[in-house]
Each structure stands twice: as C-alpha cells, then as structure tokens.
Amino acid sequence: MEQEVGEQVDEQLERMAAGSIDFVGLQELRPRLTEALNAGRPLRVKLGMDPSAADLHVGHSVTLEKLRVFQELGHTPIFLVGDFTARIGDPTGKNKARPPLEPEQIRANAQTYVDQVGKVLDADRAEIRFNSEWMDAMSPTDFVRLCSRYTVARMLERDDFAKRYREGTAISVHEFLYPLVQAYDSVALQADVELGGTDQLFNLLVGREIQRDYGQPPQAVITLPLLVGTDGKEKMSKSVGNTIGLTEPPQEIYGKTMSISDSLMADWIPVLSFGRWDDLEASVSGGAEDPLSVKQELARRLVDRFHGEGASSGAEAHFRQVIQQGRAPDEVPEVEIPLGSDGDAGLLDVMRQALGLASNGEARRLVSGGAVRLDEQRIDDPKVRLPAGEYLLQAGKRRYARVRLTSEP
C-alpha cells in the first residue's frame, strides 16, 4: 500500500509538471500530496482569471487544460473569477495602467467566463469562486494589514514595474495592490497549488509569502508557457486583438489558425498539445512534412477541441471554398435595403449598410483598392448607382452580402 501511494505520487507529479515552465515548491508538494492521497483528501488547485474581456481564448485554454489535468487526477479545481481584481486591473506585462472596468461589464464578463470554462473543464465538478466574496467583506484595517506584509522595494523587483519605473511611465499605487489581492485569494481559498502563465510568476510567488504570513503552508506554483497570438509577435490577448476565442464559430477558429505563420505553428503545437498530439509534435520537430497539411490538421483539432468532434469538417469545407478557391460561401447574409424615391441607390451607401462599414469613405477606399465585386464583376467606379434588384456584393476575400434593393410602393 505504502509503495503504491509512492508510485502514484510520482506519477501525479510528473503529469502536473508536464509542459510547465516553472514548478516552485515541488519538493514541499511531494509530502503534502502523499499525505493527501493517504487521507483521501484532494488538493485544492487554483487558477484565477480576471473578467477583463468577454471572451476566453485559446491562450487561456493552456492553463485551463492544466487545471483539467488536476481534475482528472482527482483534485479540486478552483476557477477563481477575479471580479474584484478586475476593478484594479492586472498590471502584468503592461507599459501602462489598465483602465478599470465598469461593474456591470465585469459582472457580464464573469458570467460568460463561467459558461466558457465548461468548454475545457467539467464545470459541475469544479469549484467556481469570485474574489469579491472575501475582498468586499474585508475591512480597510485588514486591508492595510495585508499591504503591510510586502515592501515597495520587493514590488519594484518585478520586471514590468522596474521597467516602467526606469522609463518614467506612470505606476499608480493601486497597481501594487494587485499582487497582494491575488496572493490573499490563495489564503482565502487555502490553495495547495496555483497555476498561471509564466508572466504570472511574480504574482504567484507573492501568494506563497502571504500564505506563510497568514500561517498557511505555501502553495506550489506551476507556470505554463504563454501562447503567442495569431500575429506571431505578442502574447495572445484581447487588447492586442490577436486572439482566437473559445466560443468563436468553427470556421473562424479554423480560418484564424490557418492564417498563422508556419513558424508560429511550430510554437503552438507543443504548447497546445498536452501530450495528446504526439503525431503533430513529431511532424513539426521533424520539419520534413508539408506545412499546409500539418496546419490544416492543427486547425481541425482546435475546432474539434472547442466545438466537439466532427465540427471541423464544415469549417474546412468553408475555408477551401472561400479562401482557397475564392468563391462565395454557402451561407451569405442577406440584407434588404429599401430604395428611396430615386429608384436607385449609390453603391457606397449599399456597401456601408450591407457590410456594416463605418463610413462611405471606407467603402470608397475598398472600391478604389479593387476589392469590390458585384455579381462577380469587379467595380472600379465608386459612383455607380444600383437599380432595384438582387446583387451578390463582395469586399475582399471574406466579406459577402446578398443585397436586395426593393423599391418602396
């Protein structure tokens, strides 16, 4: 029996560590895990996210997948929605303070997070918590006491703060509070382990110290690689606009994946694999394989991962038709536009309405750029007027609308 638990511990630790960048407190975790297994008590594993945007994306899925591994190992996954911390704004990796969010926005985002987490995790068996639960209840006195546990000098050790301080960009005092609140969350949740992206290392480590101060054994910290966004440059993030959202339609996930560079694909595969895509990892590291078909396979698997097995076939067909062959998709949004007394309408107006463009100027630019087709014929003259009838309007490769111009009786 003793022997068996020992083996189990090794096996579990190995799965916990797989694909991670840092694993702080591994040695302390070993006896703790052994004890937990013997007592039949699951570890409490925390993963926090701020509801700063409405959508979780593939980048978030990296840590979520790891949390799922813990769930599979029988531990308690705690998904912490940082509705309080969102009001502070995580300064990590930022060169300026984040604008704080409106409470309603935070609440709305938090709700969608909970829904989206179910795409990766068995949400029914996960503990889902909000840090406003204890933070709103904390008295100012207790809050100041929390702040007294850490020093400014140590705060300034953090790379992004140090950099901003050096460069003379503003650091507001409240930004220092963020790591402390995140750390206190671990106290409140009595976390045994906390997960995060590598950029979270500092915050996660503060958690260890604060837990010690509050008389708790410090959590183990596991960091995972950050996923570079579709632009191939910056970390995937909503504000940069280089994300693939977990809830995006299959053809979007597929298309965006296909649009990444071949070299980025090589970065993505090991990060997203979780030991499940040995074949893809092999073909990438081998390097010999045709990148197009590898990327298509990656796109298929991502679609299937978030939309369920088989969801990718439609997305792939759509991609082949619209992007590779440049033909109209099967489903084109239909727009009906009533004509005024003139009996016809200007092309630019029609484009703006049918394609949702910001202005006629934008429509004009598309026309002069040679991007616009009407019933498959390229249009060069922005002054064209269209009489009543039905048209297939196209701007660029991907924007289509079937427009019906109707004359009003």
Partner RNA sequence: GGAGAGGUACCAAAGCGGCCAAAUGGGGCGGACUGUAAAUCCGCUGGUUUUACCUUCGGAGGUUCGAAUCCUCCCCUCUCCA
List residues near RNA by CB under 7 A.
165, 168-171, 231-232, 241-242, 258-263, 290-292, 295, 319, 323-324, 348, 352, 358-362, 364-366, 368-371, 395-399
Nearer to RNA, 129 or 352 (CB): 352
Minimum distance of RNA from residue 371's CB (angstroms)? 3
**Least distance to RNA, CB of residue 173, Å:** 10
Nearer to RNA, 68 or 364 (CB): 364
CA dist 391 and 238 (Å) reads 35
Strand partners, 378: 373
Q: Which residues contact 210 (CB under 8 A, 6 or more apart)?
A: 146, 149, 150, 180, 183, 184, 186, 187
Closest to 194 measured CA to CA, from 315, 24, 6: 24
Q: What is the DSSP string of 103-151?
A: HHHHHHHHHHHHHHHTTTS-GGGSEEEETHHHHTT--HHHHHHHHTTS-
- C-beta atoms surrounding 322 within 10 Å: 18
Neighbours of 159 (CB within 10 A): 13
**Calculated CA dihedral for residues 66, 72, 73, 77, nearest 10 degrees:** 60
Q: How far apart are CA 270 and CA 107, in angstroms?
A: 34
Q: How far is the CB of 318 from RNA (least distance, A)?
A: 12
Identity at 312, one-letter amino acid code = S
Q: Which is nearer to RNA, 4 or 376 (CB)?
A: 376
Q: Which is nearer to RNA, 93 or 232 (CB)?
A: 232
Bridge partners (DSSP) of residue 130 are 81
CB neighbour class for 321 (10 Å; exposed up to 12, middle 13-18, buried from 19): middle
CB 86, min distance to RNA, A? 21
State which amino acid sits at residue 109: N
Nearer to RNA, 137 or 358 (CB): 358
Token reading at 229 = 């966004």
**What span, in angstroms and rounded, lies between the C-alpha atoms of 43 and 36?**
7
Q: Do 131 and 84 meet the contact criterion of CB atoms below 8 Å apart?
A: yes
Nearest to 295 by CA among 247, 317, 263, 323: 263
How near is the Cβ of 378 to RNA at its closest, in Å?
9
Q: Which is nearer to RNA, 38 or 95 (CB)?
A: 95
Q: Are 219 and 25 in contact (CB under 8 A)?
A: yes
Question: What minimum distance in Å lies between the beta carbon of 358 and RNA?
Answer: 6
| Minimum distance, C-beta of residue 359 to RNA, in the bound complex (Å) | 3
Of residues 254 and 306, the one with the C-beta less far from RNA: 254
Minimum distance from residue 346 beta carbon to RNA (Å)? 7
- Taking the least distance from each CB to RNA, the nearer of 149 and 365 is 365
Kindly tell me which of 2 and 167 has the beta carbon lying closer to RNA.
167
CA 247 to chain centre: 10
Closest distance to RNA from the beta carbon of 103 (Å): 23
CB of 350 to RNA, least distance (A): 12
Residue 240 tokens, joined? 């940069």
Residue 69 or 264: the one with the smaller Cβ distance to RNA is 264
The Cβ of residue 377 has, within 10 Å, a number of other Cβ atoms equal to 9
Q: How far is the CB of 116 from RNA (least distance, A)?
A: 24
Q: CB nearer to RNA: give 7 or 289.
A: 289
